[in-house]
A and B are shown apart, each in its own frame.
Chain A
Amino acid sequence: MRFPAKTLSLAVASALVVFGCGKEAPPPPPPKAEQPPAPPPKPTLTVKIGHSAPLTGPQAHLGKDNENGARLAIEEANAKKLEIGGAMVTFEMIPEDDQADPKQGTTVAQKLIDAKVSGVVGHLNSGTTIPASKLYSDAGIPQISPSATNPKYTQQGFKTAFRVMANDEQQGKVLGDYATKQLAGKKIAIVDDRTAYGQGVADEFEKAAKAGGAAIVAREFTNDKATDFAAILTKIKSKKPDLVMYGGMDAQAGPMAQQLKKLGVKSKMIFADGGCTTEFHKLAGDAAEGHYCSLPGYPLDKMPGGKVFMEKYKAKFNVDIQLYAPYAYDAANVMIDAMKRANSVEPAKYLAELPKTAFDGVTAKITFDERGDVKDGAITLYQAKGGKWETLETIGGAAPAPAQPAAMSGMGAMTAAPAQPAAMGGMSGMTAAPTPAAAPAAAPAAPAEKK
């Protein structure tokens, strides 16, 4: 062997020394929630909540938006000076950057687990959420994703995995039904951006549209970094569709709308949450007029607390909401709410409360089905008019409930009493969820027939 054994052993030895000396202060012991209710000076407790999203790279703007949403929820909770398990609780957010890279996603997850977080809000992408969810599940740490829409995430059978956003199946189906029924689309062109999200929504849309009797006249593709769509749009133009469905984000939907207009195509576009942003209007300019989009949940301005949230967000971060901030805000609040009801910040204890969530969020009244998917499958459709998204209608779900601050404590009392059954499946019966109105999307989506 030509290996310089001496040098290497020295290098390794010195590396060991460095690591040995570089020992950081040991992480604080796991938060002890059930300390005896000590008299006068109430013990204080810092609860760490992890957040993970891409903060660098092409999706950085969305990642920061998520982080801001979660941060707002946490700061509000801190301002309320909550008392959980007899201790004054301060929440501390640990924001991480996973670069939308699955490998970074698991590294970040491990870092959050090491930091002994009580729960995680995130990740943003399905590609990072799925591999990370296994680590959280092994560590018993609840995870609520505000924006990962791949159905697989909650189908893995992890008790710790939740999301407050309709999955691709739920949303694609509503969108497809709407396109064929309300918009009477007979010839539809579909474009997707070949990301997990775009392809997922587009495929579900295609199924629903075909079931609704529409013909798919073109199935075209682009990618999530593209700016030029002239070639595929020219092809689509030659097929004369009634509607053009796009599965992807606003950064592509905006320029696409402009290029459609330049080519003289009169057909309107329809897309899911990824394009349903104020950014779309900025990027599409006057070409935005008349296009359709959908967002899970109810319109923010119609929800109790929604307007306030928008104002607070704008005031605090001095930027517009990009997309998923309200969902991240809800996700963090759902987590804190479960801690309050469980009267504990320990993952094992409040995890049992999460499936019973019935939380009035800013996007919807959030309840979970047995998988951890959001149960109230309300999805709202919008149309671009005069540079804004105007609400058309909300499909599925119960009517938005007025805010009931009093109901919160009552619920806590109710759920605190019975001993917690371990199985999550049995919980759905206990959920005081409003029965969803007869609507296609309300029922938890059946598992996709795997090809």
Chain B
Amino acid sequence: MPSLRKPWLGMLLIGVALALLPFLIGKGLGNSWVRVLDFALLYVMLALGLNIVVGFAGLLDLGYIAFYAVGAYLYALLASPHFGLHWPIWAVLPLGALVAGLFGVLLGAPTLRLRGDYLAIVTLGFGEIVRIFINNLNAPVNITNGPQGISQIDPVRIAGTPLSKTLEVFGLSFPSVHLYYYLFLALTLLIVFVSIRLEDSRIGRAWVAIREDEIAAKACGIDTRNVKLLAFAMGATFGGVAGGLFAGFQEFVSPESFGLMESVMVLCMVVLGGMGHIPGVILGGLLLAILPEALRHGAVPMQQAAFGKVLLDPESLRMLLFGLALIAVMLYRPAGLWPEARRKREFTAGKAS
């Protein structure tokens, strides 16, 4: 393959393909699929963020969606008629990342001594606490507007152009979902880049050392406390960014979007794809975000082909198949669909012993 010698050619191909993707999908399958793709990119960002905590540092976090919620609500509060504030995206997103990062430290601090499943339940509790506060802070002072959620949030504007309207450039028309796709793609690529750089850094190696053996890591002179806190904070910032984008994209946020099942879904993406392996996590995020939609479209035709009639409601079947897929993938590829080479070796070695 020529791309072996010319890596830039491969990159260029990927770039062109990613740029054309929404048009191909939009024309071929309809804009609802571009929308699914937009959400899939948001999930990829979330999965990459959680991957830092779970995959790199080995800290099981079941409340990750709280950071997504923090980012989303921050955007909603600072750019909607709720407080009459209309801050621009370039101010809100970094602030969201920062505040989410602070929440990450807030979560990390009391849990430093906990391990494994104890950590899981505390993080789960943290996620629920954040959600419950968001759901209830409409009285005595109305901050979050409670269960009613915040509506009429400003769409994302870039250089004065709102992404919520179809844009016509050089005779090409870019529907709103396409515009958001490019924005999300750009930020996903940024997050991928940051993740790769982090993995290869001193801190990244410290995380892996903690994951593999915390005591040994400590003995090697790693300040485990700060390094763990950093993992929580870094992971949380990605969640905060994704949350802000979600609020701008939906133009509506309400507490029901940030339930426990969402945290579980993101964790499934990380584990299913291959913990600690960036391409694997991306794959996991894309797959789990797209699979339920594919089943939504496919459940009826599939049954008609197999039995000649529709035996089960497509919606029951959809979640059923989703659950079965989770089980099947884990049974046949327990280290994930696309595991890190090192992990894979460990696993096969473990099995042989």
- Give A residues with C-beta under 8 Å from B: 1-9, 12-13, 16, 19-20, 22-24, 27, 55-56, 96-97, 100-103, 106-107, 110-111, 113-115, 126-127, 130-131, 134, 138, 150, 152, 156, 194-196, 198-200, 221, 451
Contacts and interface: CB of A to CB of B under 8 A. Distances in A.
Nearest to B21: A16
Interface in B18-59: 18, 20-21, 24-25, 28-32, 35-36, 39
Given A16-B17, A106-B35, A130 B11 contact: no
B313 interface: yes
B9 to A, nearest CB: 8
Given A5-B11, A100-B256, A200-B148, A131 B136 contact: no
Given A3-B279, A55-B315, A102 B254 contact: yes
A156 B252 CA distance: 12
B47 to A, nearest CB: 15
Contact of A23 (B1, B29, B165, B177): B29
Given A8-B14, A199-B148, A24 B279 contact: no
A221 B135 CA distance: 12
Nearest to A139: B31
Contacts of A102: 149, 250, 252-254, 256-257
Contact of A19 (B29, B36, B149): B29
A55 B320 CA distance: 13
Nearest to B314: A97
Given A12-B17, A110-B31, A130 B256 contact: no
Contact of A8 (B1, B35, B147, B279): B279
Nearest to A114: B30
A194 B253 CA distance: 15
Contacts of B257: 101-103, 127
B196 interface: yes
A13 B24 CA distance: 12
Nearest to A116: B30
B30 A27 contact: yes
A106 to B, nearest CB: 6
Contact of B14 (A9, A56, A199): A9
Contacts of B18: 12
A114 B315 CA distance: 19
B149 A130 contact: yes
**Main secondary structure on B side of the interface with A:** helix
A11 B132 CA distance: 42
B293 interface: yes
A4 B14 CA distance: 12
B36 A55 contact: no
19 contacts: A6-B1, A8-B10, A9-B11, A12-B13, A16-B20, A16-B24, A20-B24, A97-B315, A101-B256, A102-B250, A102-B253, A102-B257, A107-B36, A110-B30, A110-B177, A113-B31, A115-B30, A194-B135, A198-B147
Contacts of B149: 102, 127, 130, 196
**Main secondary structure on A side of the interface with B:** helix
A103 B250 contact: yes
A131 B10 CA distance: 39
A451 B148 CA distance: 13
A27 B297 CA distance: 14
Nearest to B282: A8
A20 B27 CA distance: 10
Contacts of A126: 148
B115 to A, nearest CB: 30
A7 B283 CA distance: 13
Contacts of A194: 135-136, 146-147
B252 A56 contact: no
A3 B280 CA distance: 11
A246 to B, nearest CB: 15
* 3 A-B pairs closest in CB distance: A114-B30, A5-B10, A111-B32
Contacts of B1: 6
B319 interface: yes
A451 B83 CA distance: 9
Given A3-B196, A3-B279, A131-B252, A97 B296 contact: yes
A102 B256 CA distance: 8
Nearest to B82: A450
B251 interface: yes
B168 interface: no
A338 B267 CA distance: 47
A259 to B, nearest CB: 23
Contact of A156 (B11, B147, B151, B296): B151
Given A101-B256, A196-B148, A13 B13 contact: yes
A69 to B, nearest CB: 17
B7 interface: yes
Contacts of A200: 147-148
Contact of A1 (B31, B135, B196): B196
A55 B314 CA distance: 10
B353 interface: no
Contact of A113 (B17, B32, B246): B32
B348 interface: no
